[in-house]
Structure 1
Amino acid sequence: MVYHYTAVGDSLTFGIGALPGSGFVSLYRRMAEAHLQQFVAYENLGINGLTSDELYERVVKDSRFRGHLKDASLITITVGGNDLIRAVKTGGNRPDRDRLDKALIRCQHNISGCLAAIHKLKKGGEQPYIIRAVGLYNPYPSWDEAAEYVTRFNKYLFGLSNGSYFRVADIYSRFAGREKEMLSLDGIHPSTKGHRVIAEKLNQLGYYPLK
């Protein structure tokens, strides 16, 4: 049997910040293969800079995205960080609470829409599948407003969890206070070590009902 893994999302999924072959998608795929004891074919659909608006549009309209999601028994999602970053940049590189609130509400709406679209896409399928999302770390640790955005985002994401089918990897506490080792030189994207932490957190969520 072959399991199909589709990774969708932003630069984290794409692998920015990690050495070649050391992004969390590649690492998690190998961990899944070891756990499931079956070959795991994978498609990395990560797009650098992708926002939740753009992810939702692709999940709903992009035939390539939809085809891979429909065939996947294992799906990972990273999104939300660019919504925060863009809100900060459009606010003059300072965190404006009102602007962040609006970005957060839209991001939450888009995430729920993505999950609903994936459910609909896979409705009636005979094979079990799981979706794993990656929670946010704070790329602006010195700003209280950014920390508040990340905390509220993660709380919302965890609120969508429903047992084994959809679960969230909590990486916030592993990154907080360890930004120098967990982030790459740009101070935004995870380092190779940060990517490994993400993969390990995903792996710890288990694979039921796949196995």
Structure 2
Amino acid sequence: MFRKLTSIVVLCLLVTGCMADHTSNVSSKSLTKLEKEQPAETFIPKTLHVVAIGDSLTKGVGDETNQGGYIGKLINQMDERKEIKDIVLNNYGIKGHKTSNLQKKLKENQVVNHLKKADLIFVTIGGNDLMNVVKKNIFSLDYGPFREGQKTYENNLKDIINTIRENNTEANIVLIGLYNPFKYMLPELSEIDTIISEWNTASQQIINHDGHSVFVSVEDIFTTTDEILLSDDQFHPNRKGYELIADRVLEELENEQVITAIP
């Protein structure tokens, strides 16, 4: 059983900060290059269709510059590549979304239509599933409820991947893993690291089984530096945190040659 929390009030505030945003407007934009390095005459740049789905990290909550969090940074980075003519982004990130919420979101006609056209699908999900377990066991945290919650999370994530594949068999799905937001505020809760690693391992196994997807681990980003990477709410990344996530995602896309493989 975990040691008793030393900062229950702080944790309650963090839980409150993860409450859902009930707005469901999609953010869409097209980014077109004005100037590019001149490629070979036989080279034809692509128009890249990108769909971002999930929770507050996809929405960019915590980014004090309001530049769209990791997805905004990532789109700007990809837009510099000579093989990309322009990028059409549809962002369905909603604060507070759990896997169960995303399952419902993927049934909406507008989302389905964009999924069918997508070349790349970025996903952040699971943080609020984890927080839901914390809320229900705030005064008596132990491993049991987290592992029960993990089973539900895994089943929901499998269903999410299957739903995406029902609408698009070719797009690369990129799932960004979980990180420990309590690392700085409640360092005595070292067991949370174990829980998050277990959830991330399960996520990676599901993504690997799909065979046409990429799992991006980011938990080490928030544990290997003394630099402040969280926003004032001590839960979501700040601008720098999102930048590091975007850099990691782009690195994985390049390692897996995802962009160059898009027909």
Normalization by structure 2: what TM-score? 0.73
Equivalent position of 1:133 in the other structure: 175
Distance 1:3 1:138 in 2: 32
- Partners of 1:70 and 1:121 within 8 A in 2: yes
Structure 1 moving runs of 4+ over 6 Å = none
Aligned pair in 2 of structure 1 residues 95, 194: CA closer, same or farther (>3 Å)?
Answer: farther
Equivalent position of 1:121 in the other structure: 167
Distance 1:114 1:84 in 2: 17
Q: Secondary structure at the match of 1:27?
A: helix
Unaligned runs of 5+ in 1: none
Q: Secondary structure at the match of 1:83?
A: helix
Counterpart residue type for residue 12 of structure 1: L
1:156 matched to 2:202? The reply is: yes
Greater fraction helix:
1
Distance 1:186 1:136 in 2: 17
Equivalent in 98, 120, 125 of residue 79 of structure 1: 125
Aligned alpha-carbon RMSD (Å): 2.0
Q: Which deviations, in whole Å up to 9, do the C-alpha atoms of 1:3-34 show, x marking residues without a partner?
A: 11110010000000112115111111112222
Number of residue pairs matched by the alignment: 206
Range with greater deviation from structure 2 (139-148 or 197-206): 139-148
- Partners of 2:47 and 2:84 within 8 A in 1: no
Alignment of 1:15-94 (within 5 A): 15-18=60-63, 19-35=65-81, 36-59=83-106, 61-92=107-138
Shift of 1:191: 0.9
- Partners of 1:95 and 1:146 within 8 A in 2: no
Equivalent position of 1:5 in the other structure: 50
**Percent same amino acid at aligned positions?**
25
Shift of 1:183: 1.0
Shift of 1:70: 1.3
Shift of 1:201: 1.0
Distance 1:178 1:78 in 2: 22
Q: Which deviations, in whole Å up to 9, do the C-alpha atoms of 1:62-111 show, x marking residues without a partner?
A: 22221211111111000010011111112236633222112111111111
Unaligned runs of 5+ in 2: 1-45, 254-258
Shift of 1:145: 3.6
- Partners of 2:55 and 2:95 within 8 A in 1: yes
Equivalent position of 2:248 in the other structure: 201
Normalization by structure 1: what TM-score? 0.89
Counterpart residue type for residue 153 of structure 1: W
Range with greater deviation from structure 2 (151-160 or 2-11): 151-160
- Partners of 1:28 and 1:199 within 8 A in 2: yes
- Partners of 2:231 and 2:237 within 8 A in 1: yes
Structure with larger Rg: 2
Distance 1:209 1:164 in 2: 14
Counterpart residue type for residue 111 of structure 1: L
Counterpart residue type for residue 214 of structure 2: R
